[in-house]
Amino acid sequence: MSLPSTARVVIIGGGVVGTSALYHLAKAGWSDCVLLEKNELTAGSTWHAAGNCPNFAANYGVMNMQRYGLEMYRNLADEVDYPINYHVTGAVRLAHSHERMMEFERVRDMAAQMGLQMDMCTPDELQGHMPFMETHDLEGGLWDPLDGDIDPSQVTQALAKGARSLGATIARFTPATGVSREGGEWVVHTEKGDIRCEYVVNAAGYYAARVGEWFLPHGGREVPLTVMSHQYFLTEAIPEVKAWTEANGRKVPMLRDVDSSYYLRQDTHSLNLGPYERNCQVGWASGKEMPEDFSFQLYPDDLDRLEWYIMDAMERVPLLGTQGVQRNINGPIPYAPDGLPMIGPMPGVPNAFEAHSFTFGIAQGGGAGKVLSEWIMHGYTEWDMWSVDPRRYTDHADAGFTTAKAMETYGHEYAMHFPHHEWPAGRDKKLSPNHDRLLADGAQMGAYNGWERVNWFAKDGDDTSEGATHTWDRNGPWQARVREEAQAVRDHAGIIDLAGFSRFGVSGDGAAEGLRGLITGALPKVGRMNLIYIADARGHVLTEMSCIRHAEDDFTLMTAAVAQWHDGEILRAAMPDSVTITDKTRDVVAMLLTGPAARDLLSPLTDADLSLGWLTHQQATVAGKPAMLARVSFAGELGWEVHCAPEDTAAVYAAIRDAGATPFGMYALNSLRIEKGYLTWKGDLSADYGLFETGLGRFVKLDKPQDFPGKTALAEAPQPPAKRLVMLKVETGAQDAPYMASVFAGGEQAGVVLSAAYGHRVEAALAIAMLDAHVPAGMDVEIAVYGQRLTATVQPDMCQWDADNVRIRA
């Protein structure tokens, strides 16, 4: 086969993910695409994958992606006329504790939103599904009838056949050797010739970090990926398993003992045990140790590190110990720091995309191909997929961080992610100049895009152990302190260190006009600030920024810490060449002083004019140090953001603290902002919803002349929208409603919760929800909260505290 010299898209990597992306592109009409594989298809992690196919995921976006892919797999063999061994066996997940049952209840609720049925089970019901296991020590479990396993090579070859039949090209035994950029196009180099293309995709599996090095000269970064060694083994044939299969005409359901951290499933008439062990092992300590080609190869066996898991599994399923080991598989699998894949735009590089770091690549490959193809073709995805966006990790994700987090994630693959728990590995990557003072005051820290921020301040005697956070409940050791911090802001004044705000300087001829053509609404006047929104082509919320205007064409834009690379790319892609965009995130530290006494505390420390109104800003000195004061408060009280250089921050903070401001943390700020109905990015503000649905119509100016992204879609959007953002006042249970908890009206699902907290100023549990428009204000609804149904009332207004903004404008 001769290699094409041009293509629309070149995909590097021929595993299940690369072939799925090629298939989805071709199916959408983009048949002028080429996949390059240096060996045979499936030669990387795909060939030795166990092929398990769960719907279960604690992350909503990932579950949706898996649901789509598994549904596609069930019909793929007929669609492309290629045989696939796909066994839909069902699976049980075991719970040793009530907390695990609560997690299962939450996942079952999310699954129901997608049309998937999962059943909560008693121990006896679990044994009815999987008869060979012991259940005496179990709390219960979960049954997923659509779980199962698939042959990884067959599904990959089926996707490849489907792609070829639609006109796409697959070049096997054609290793890519590098990339270059000419005239706005990519040139992908191979030993068989070059291919010019519009888009290039790094789908190189555990070689993705090495391929990523090719893009460093073009604005790329070192790919945050660690190759882990994962083992599973197969027993010899077990007569009882064979007899059960013959009697029932199907395989024994899969078992996952997630508290012990392994899966166990039937393979022919044997059993396949795959642990995720705490004493895990990195496959290669660095990319430099990787051989040029590890196709169809494995690591040496290392069963000793699996001993505890093997013994535990034999106690659970005694049949496992009746036969010897037939074969052990010890192969490389890639891990991102959080164990979720990297799917989407390659950070810093134009028209380059990533689809790698899949720890469950077979289960996620089908959906990943859909998501990636949409990103390439449209610039957005059907579902908000921020949880897998490669831009979620920025410059803190160096090799040390990535390896530490990957080992932590692998060793806790099935861990419950409690709402107040902070994982300890890879910490202290970015510190505020106030860090030592914060710790001295009892700060309990959390990581926000690598920045250490205070979650809450402990006092002597408070339980600050990691174990204390292993709960779904609201009322941990932090809650009394969060209440005190919120009430200090309400009654006097508090200060919070907000190091790590993403901050961009946008200046130069045409800056104002460039922004007008990008945002949905209006810019502030000089000396003022406001919120601005950017939409995608559908009119859905892409991002929110605070816009501070210094001069006609001179702006500072601030956004969420984690949005740094995401929003920076949006700005750089949209602004004309005459405009300079400077990332100033590390150049300035922000602190918020807020509360009714804020003016009295600040006045003796500053030469600023503190009579200037809400949404103004000014340059001044605070404690003798230069600072910018912005009259705004995310807590909804009188207040100023104080922005100063890192070298001046500690002195300014100390002066404000010593003047009498109470330090408060992110937990209190979250409570305060929810009472005001203020929204957070990738919490309440999501690409799943349009601006009108999200209640942001006042930030949409359809009559302005600029043709901003999403303008046509917003002009054509139905009015009123079919869904709307609402505030719910919730019956006070032990837990806050989790993200994507179902809301029921009249017994029917009518919406989902996006964020929730207890409001200490209004003394009520609150939740922000996206609700069907036909559900009226004042109506009682129900929320699914970890297996309970809590009653909630739809409020007439989003704001529950100081609705007229008297306090914030004081």
Q: Is 559 helix (H, G, I), strand (E, B) or coil?
A: strand
C-beta separation of 634 from 673 below 8 A = yes
Half-sphere exposure of 316 (CA within 13 A, CB side): 28
Outline where 13-59 has alpha helix (H): 16-27, 45-48
pLDDT along the chain (810 residues), means of 10: 93 98 98 97 93 97 98 97 97 98 98 98 97 97 98 98 98 98 97 97 96 97 96 96 96 98 96 96 79 91 93 97 94 96 98 97 97 98 98 97 97 97 98 98 98 98 98 97 98 98 98 98 98 98 98 98 98 97 98 98 98 98 98 98 98 98 98 98 97 98 98 97 98 97 97 98 98 98 98 98 97
Residues 6+ apart with CB under 8 A from 207: 13, 44, 290
pLDDT value of position 216? 98
Q: How far apart are CA 365 and CA 158, in angstroms?
A: 13
Q: What is the reported pLDDT for 418?
A: 98
Instruction: Report whether 649 contacts 591 (CB < 8 A).
Output: yes
Confidence at residue 386, expressed as pLDDT on a 0 to 100 scale: 98
Contact (Cβ atoms closer than 8 angstroms) between residue 542 and residue 682: no
Q: Check residue 292 and give its pLDDT.
A: 87
Closest CA to 156 of 42, 79, 77, 43: 42
Q: Compute φ and ψ for 247, nearest 5 degrees.
A: -75, -35
pLDDT, one tens digit per residue, over 349-366 is 999 999 999 999 999 999
Reported pTM: 0.97
Residue 567 tokens, joined: 């929003």
Which residue do the tokens 């460093």 mark? 216
What single letter denotes the amino acid at residue 368? A
> Which H or E run contains 180?
strand 176-182
Give backbone dihedrals phi and psi of 365, rounded to 5 degrees, phi first.
Answer: -60, -40
**In which region does residue 344 sit, left (phi positive, over 0), alpha (psi from -120 to 50) or beta (all else)?**
left
Query: Contacts by 578-583 with C-beta closer than 8 Å and gap 24+?
Result: 578/508, 578/509, 578/510, 579/506, 579/507, 579/508, 579/509, 579/510, 579/511, 579/514, 579/553, 580/505, 580/506, 580/507, 580/508, 581/504, 581/505, 581/506, 582/504, 582/505, 582/507, 583/502, 583/503, 583/504
Q: How far apart are CA 774 and CA 746, in angstroms?
A: 11
Predicted confidence (pLDDT) per residue in 197-245, tens digit: 999 999 999 999 999 999 999 999 999 999 999 999 999 999 999 999 9
pLDDT at 290: 86
Looking at residue 287, what is its pLDDT? 63
Phi, psi of 673 (to 5 degrees): -70, -35
3-state secondary structure of 251: coil
Provide the pLDDT for residue 288: 67
Query: What is the C-alpha to C-alpha distance for residues 700 and 110, in angstroms, rounded to an integer?
Result: 32
- Give the Cα separation of 614 and 530 in Å (integer): 10
Please give the C-alpha separations between residue 61 and each of 71, 387, 421, 504, 739, in angstroms, as whole numbers.
Answer: 16, 7, 21, 29, 12
